[in-house]
Amino acid sequence: MTTDAFITIDRGKCRKDGLCVRICPKVFTQGEAGGVPEVSRPEFCNDCGHCLLICPSGAITHWRLGEIALHEVRKDLLPSFEQVEEMIRTRRSIRNFLDKPVERELIEKVIDCARFAPSAKNTQSTEYIVIDNRDRLRRIAAMTAKWLGDSARRLKNPIIRRIFLMRGMTTKEEFSRWIGQFELTAENMQKGIDTILYNAPVLVLFHAGKRIRFAEANANLALQNATFAACALGLGSFYAGYVVSACTHDSAIPRLLHLPQGHRIYAGLTLGHTKIGFSRWIDRNPAKTRWNENG
Is there a single domain that holds both residue 152 and residue 50? no
* Contact by Cβ (8 Å): 206, 269: yes
Tell me the pTM. 0.91
Mean pLDDT, residues 10-34:
91
Mean pLDDT, residues 202-207:
98
Is there a single domain that holds both residue 205 and residue 267? yes
Is there a single domain that holds both residue 88 and residue 207? yes
pLDDT score of 260: 97
Q: Concatenated DSSP letters for 223-292?
A: HHHHHHHHHHTTEE--B-HHHHHHHHH-SHHHHHTTPPTTEEEEEEEEEEEBSS--S-----PPP-----
Closest among 69, 58, 80, 53 to 14, alpha carbons compared: 58
Q: How confident is the model at residue 293 (pLDDT cuts 50, 70, 90)?
A: confident
pLDDT score of 180: 93
* Contact by Cβ (8 Å): 161, 92: no
Is there a single domain that holds both residue 127 and residue 200? yes
Look at residue 46 and tell me whether its pLDDT is greater than 70: yes
Closest among 59, 69, 54 to 21, alpha carbons compared: 54
Q: How confident is the model at residue 145 (pLDDT cuts 50, 70, 90)?
A: very high
Is there a single domain that holds both residue 103 and residue 152? no
Look at residue 54 and tell me whether its pLDDT is greater than 70: yes
Instruction: Indicate the SS3 state at residue 26.
Output: coil
Report the alpha-carbon distance of residue 265 to residue 214 in Å, rounded.
Answer: 13
Domain count within the chain:
3
Mean pLDDT, residues 212-241:
98
Mean pLDDT of the chain: 94
pLDDT score of 189: 96
Q: Residue 112 belongs to what domain range?
A: 81-134+196-273
CA angle 267, 202, 148 (to 5 degrees): 55
Is there a single domain that holds both residue 35 and residue 121? no
Let me know if residue 76 belongs to a domain.
no
pLDDT score of 2: 52
Q: How confident is the model at residue 162 (pLDDT cuts 50, 70, 90)?
A: confident
Is there a single domain that holds both residue 7 and residue 117? no
Closest among 140, 143, 250, 146 to 203, alpha carbons compared: 140
Is there a single domain that holds both residue 54 and residue 94? no
What is the crossing angle of helices 158-166 and 172-190, to 10°? 130
Let me know if residue 25 belongs to a domain.
yes
Is there a single domain that holds both residue 129 and residue 88? yes
Let me know if residue 172 belongs to a domain.
yes
pLDDT score of 147: 96
Let me know if residue 284 belongs to a domain.
no
Let me know if residue 153 belongs to a domain.
yes
Let me know if residue 174 belongs to a domain.
yes
Is there a single domain that holds both residue 48 and residue 101? no
Look at residue 4 and tell me whether its pLDDT is greater than 60: no
pLDDT tens per residue across span 121-138: 999 999 999 999 999 999
* Contact by Cβ (8 Å): 196, 189: yes
* Contact by Cβ (8 Å): 167, 269: no
Is there a single domain that holds both residue 255 and residue 213? yes
Let me know if residue 97 belongs to a domain.
yes
Residue 101: which residues within 8 A CB-CB, separation 6 or more? 132, 201, 202
Domain containing residue 56: CATH number: 3.30.70.20
Look at residue 171 and tell me whether its pLDDT is greater than 90: no
pLDDT score of 192: 95
* Contact by Cβ (8 Å): 212, 258: no
Report the alpha-carbon distance of residue 17 to residue 59 in Å, rounded.
Answer: 11
Q: Concatenated DSSP letters for 51-79?
A: HHHH-TT--EEEGGGTT-------GGGPP
Is there a single domain that holds both residue 35 and residue 175? no
> How many CB atoms are closer than 10 A to CB 267?
27
pLDDT score of 294: 75
* Burial degree of 185 (CB within 10 A; 0-12, 13-18, 19+): buried
